[in-house]
Amino acid sequence: MAESTKRYVLKKAPATEESGSPVISAAGISSEQENAFRIDYAQELNPQQLTAVRNIFGPQLVIAGAGSGKTRTLVYRVSYLIEAGVDPAQILLMTFTRKSAQEMMKRASIVLDERCRRIKGGTFHSFANQTLRRFAKHLGFDPSFTILDRGDAEDLLNVVRSELGRNTNDKRFPKKRTLLNVLSKSTNTGRSITDILEDEYPQFIEESAVIEQLAVEFQIYKKERSVMDYDDLLTNLKLLLLENTDIRKKISRENQFIMIDEFQDTNSLQADIAEMLASEHKNLMVVGDDAQSIYSFRGANFHNIMKFPERFPGTKITTLEQNYRSTQPILHFTNAIIKSAEEKYDKTLFSDIEASHGPVYIRATNFEEQAGFISQRVLELHEEGVRLDQIAVLFRAGWHSNELEIELGGANIPFVKYGGLKFVEASHVKDVVSFLRIIQNEKDAIAWYRQLLLLEGIGPKTAQNIVLHVRDSGKGLQALGEKPFDKKKYSDSLQLLRIALEQTRSAQTLEDAVAIATKYYRPILKTNYEDHKKRTDDLDSLIRIATRYESLQTFLDDISLDPPDSTQIGAEASGSEDDKLTLSTIHSAKGLEWHTVFVISLIDGYLPSSRSLNSRAEIEEERRLLYVACTRAQRNLYLIAPELSYSRGFSAVGAGMAFPEPSRFLQEIHDFDELAEEWHLDVEF
DNA sequence: GGTGACCATCTTTTT
DNA sequence: GATGGTCACC
């Protein structure tokens, strides 16, 4: 507002290093032993971190504030265990994404040696997947089961729904998306379907009996076809451990030391699994921060972390409060964000890192100006010697970066985007993947459907008949050429499909298999999609990704459980440039950090999202989201709130969105003016 | 039973 | 601005 003609200026950020940690004498457990260790843990870690590392037996809870060296602690604990003589294969490290597991293993092997790469690590889902493949038979599943992603699960649910006679014209019945939300929430929270309906979807309460039945049918359907959705991976693992004491004991003994990262984002189902995995030895360490709980929509409940000591009597609790990441002014600001939280466990982060400037707050006139400022500022920082991969732009939802992506494209600034729509979720990629899924699991009806519906002349009904025929005839693919399905309309294309499937199955390498699949698919792509030119590049990317895998199964598993990022693929193709700006949803930025962070579109309705205003709990989670975003910054933090947004037709918030207020979380900060400096932008013509 | 044109509805966030 | 659902016609 002030009529400032001064363009923004910024003093160079001091290139501060992490400060050294205090030393504490090695008391207790095995100091002679420790003396023989290659790493001087007392030298490398602060006292709290050291305590957490040395505590190797029994349950342990580590409350770790943002940037407090949580990863460092886990990494050193891994190496400590190995130095103490633990077989790396007996260490299980559960993390939120496979990427962070790999990152930790990498760091651990730098700290110690290659043995650290032999520990087991991954997400709950990937661990469940591996375990279930070993013991699938005990649950009546085929070990070559395929995994349904969200869309597949919804489609299958729709099939079941229509078989129950609730398909058309029924405005009173929830859509597949809602249905899956309800079922998923029920499994992930352990609450009954009726309970959830009453609470969140009262308009459908009358249908609760039907929905309960639908849930049962859905389970049967999936089992018959040897497919599991994300939730099944967890529930089936739990079931396996619960019903087979000998298997549970075996698995628990195989994993003598279990560590779980980001525990505030696990749900009770995952906590149950963790408990059973540790049942034989209780060597379970969980690490988390209640202030960073941002996954309650997936059934996570940050109270879980506080309940951990009740669940595991004798839990040792360690709190890490010193922050090694951000400057003190940034921490003053982030502490202020979380201070307004209704429910919090007091924890004030502090840092040794001084700085002359705090977070910067900017009101841009609109989204284009916001984008323009970022690209200009990024270029300047780059000039000053900050690598692009040390800069990130964070936002609430994937589409919030639309204008920015255009701007960056125009300014030739390379970037990767995380979160939002994924490469493998694009329909043409799913088409090819479903083709491959048929090879792995001939019973996978959803994959069959998808393939068959691509063929001219085949609709839902014929597709269903063909799938049933293939299953019941017992002749496998040969059945595709048989009697009722030799109609002229589609028999030729059906034969082409059969031949392609057979060729793919007998391919020597996975790469060949994917190449055959895409070759078969290319003409279909051309007729089905207007913009097939753009999409065809993705098929090449898929082949390239396949080269990294040995077996079809691991390839397909990773596609569902650890999918490659969409724009990363595009960027991979476009050049060798490694130094890229990061654009990311706040959720996907979890656990990461950058020299400079821009948090954009900080207006009410965006953050908090207009869809999260239904309850105090939801709003509080949005606040934590802002907290997570801001605590990613090491040296520079820019907060941007556009004054104008377009309300193009969609009426989620109505016309009021045209002149949005800055995020309420910013407005709630009392000393905002002292904690952040405001810059005014001047556009030069 | 399949197709295609028209309409509505959304889009958080992730395994 | 895409995707899904509905309806009328083949």
Q: How far is the CA of A555 from the C1' of B7 (A)?
A: 39
Q: Say yes or no to pLDDT of A168 above 60.
A: no
Alpha-carbon gap, residue A634 to A596, rounded angstroms: 7
Q: Say yes or no to pLDDT of A10 above 50.
A: no
Q: What is the mean pLDDT of chain A?
A: 85
Provide the pLDDT for residue A15: 35
Q: A434 pLDDT band (50/70/90 cuts)? A: very high
Task: State the residue for tokens 């959803």.
Answer: A446
**Three-state secondary structure call for residue A642:** strand
Q: Say yes or no to pLDDT of A343 above 90.
A: no
A679 bridge partner residues? A362
Quick: pLDDT tens for A381-414.
999 999 999 999 999 998 888 889 888 988 889 9
Please enumerate in sequence order all residues whose Cβ is within 8 A of that of A125, keeping only pairs 6 or more positions apart, or say none: A230, A233, A234, A561
Q: How far is the CA of A449 from the C1' of B15 (A)?
A: 24
Instruction: Read off the pTM.
Output: 0.89
Q: A516: which 2 tokens?
A: 């055959």
Q: Say yes or no to pLDDT of A3 above 60.
A: no
Task: Strand B: list positions under 7 Å from protein Cβ.
Answer: 1-3, 10-15
Alpha-carbon gap, residue A522 to A510, rounded angstroms: 18
Strands A391-395 and A581-585 come out as parallel
Cα torsion through A172, A173, A174, A180, rounded to 10 = 160
Tally the C-alpha atoms within 13 A of residue A539's C-alpha that lie toward its C-beta.
23
Nearest nt to the CA of A458 via C1' is: B2
Q: What letter represents residue A580's amino acid?
A: K
Provide the pLDDT for residue A556: 93
* DSSP output for A144-161: T-EE--HHHHHHHHHHHH
Provide the pLDDT for residue A209: 87
First to last CA, chain A: 19
Alpha-carbon gap, residue A224 to A231, rounded angstroms: 17
A311 bridge partner residues? none
Q: Say yes or no to pLDDT of A573 above 50.
A: no
Q: How far is the CA of A336 from the C1' of B15 (A)?
A: 32
Quick: pLDDT tens for A606-616.
999 988 888 88
Task: Strand C: list positions under 7 Å from protein Cβ.
Answer: 1, 3-7
Nearest nt to the CA of A531 via C1' is: C2
Q: Say yes or no to pLDDT of A14 above 60.
A: no
A584, containing H or E segment: strand A581-585
Please enumerate in sequence order all residues whose Cβ is within 8 A of that of A310, keeping only pairs 6 or more positions apart, or say none: none
Provide the pLDDT for residue A582: 92
Quick: pLDDT tens for A207-263.
888 889 889 999 999 999 999 999 999 999 999 999 999 999 999 999 999 999 999
Q: How far is the CA of A647 from the C1' of B10 (A)?
A: 14
Quick: pLDDT tens for A45-84.
999 999 999 999 999 999 999 999 999 999 999 999 998 8
Q: Say yes or no to pLDDT of A367 above 90.
A: no
Q: Which candidate, A114, A119, A133, A409, places its Cα nearest to that of A259?
A: A119
**Could you give the angle at the alpha carbon of A91 between the alpha carbons of A87 and A92, nearest 5°?**
155
Please enumerate in sequence order all residues whose Cβ is within 8 A of that of A277, keeping only pairs 6 or more positions apart, or say none: A92, A241, A251, A252, A255, A258, A284
Residues whose CB falls within 7 A of nucleic chain C?
Answer: A 151, 158, 167-170, 175-176, 426-427, 648-650
Alpha-carbon gap, residue A486 to A59, rounded angstroms: 64
Q: In chain A, how many H helices and how many E strands?
A: 28, 17
Alpha-carbon gap, residue A352 to A74, rounded angstroms: 22
Task: State the residue for tokens 């400057």.
Answer: A327
Could you check whether the bond before residue A662 is cis, i.e. omega within 30 degrees of 0?
no
With a pLDDT cut of 90, the percent of chain A lying above it is 48
**Three-state secondary structure call for residue A551:** coil
Q: How far is the CA of A427 from the C1' of C6 (A)?
A: 22
Residue nearest to nucleotide C5 (CA to C1'): A168
Q: How far is the CA of A290 from the C1' of B11 (A)?
A: 28
Quick: pLDDT tens for A587-608.
999 889 999 999 999 998 899 9
3-state secondary structure A276-322: HHCCCCCCEEEEECHHHCCCHHHCECCHHHHHHHHHCCCCEEEEECE
Phi, psi of A611 (to 5 degrees): -90, 0
Q: Say yes or no to pLDDT of A483 above 90.
A: no
Alpha-carbon gap, residue A357 to A570, rounded angstroms: 37
Cα torsion through A200, A204, A206, A212, rounded to 10 = -80
**Could you give the angle at the alpha carbon of A669 between the alpha carbons of A334 and A582, nearest 5°?**
40
Q: How far is the CA of A136 from the C1' of C4 (A)?
A: 35
Residue A102's CB is within 10 A of a number of other CB atoms, namely: 15
Nearest nt to the CA of A421 via C1' is: B11
In order of A11, A173, A211, A356, A418, the CA distances from A166 in angstroms are 64, 8, 10, 64, 37
Quick: pLDDT tens for A75-108.
999 999 998 889 999 999 998 877 788 888 888 8
Q: Say yes or no to pLDDT of A504 above 60.
A: yes
Provide the pLDDT for residue A659: 77
* DSSP output for A380-419: HHHHTT--GGGEEEEESSGGGGHHHHHHHHHTT--EEEES
Provide the pLDDT for residue A5: 31
Provide the pLDDT for residue A646: 63
Please check whether residue A260 is in contact with residue A121, taking contact to mean a CB–CB distance below 8 angstroms. no
Alpha-carbon gap, residue A143 to A132, rounded angstroms: 7
Task: State the residue for tokens 């606040």.
Answer: A623
Please enumerate in sequence order all residues whose Cβ is within 8 A of that of A318, keeping only pairs 6 or more positions apart, or say none: A48, A51, A52, A55, A60, A61, A62, A63
Alpha-carbon gap, residue A512 to A518, rounded angstroms: 10
Alpha-carbon gap, residue A573 to A544, rounded angstroms: 10
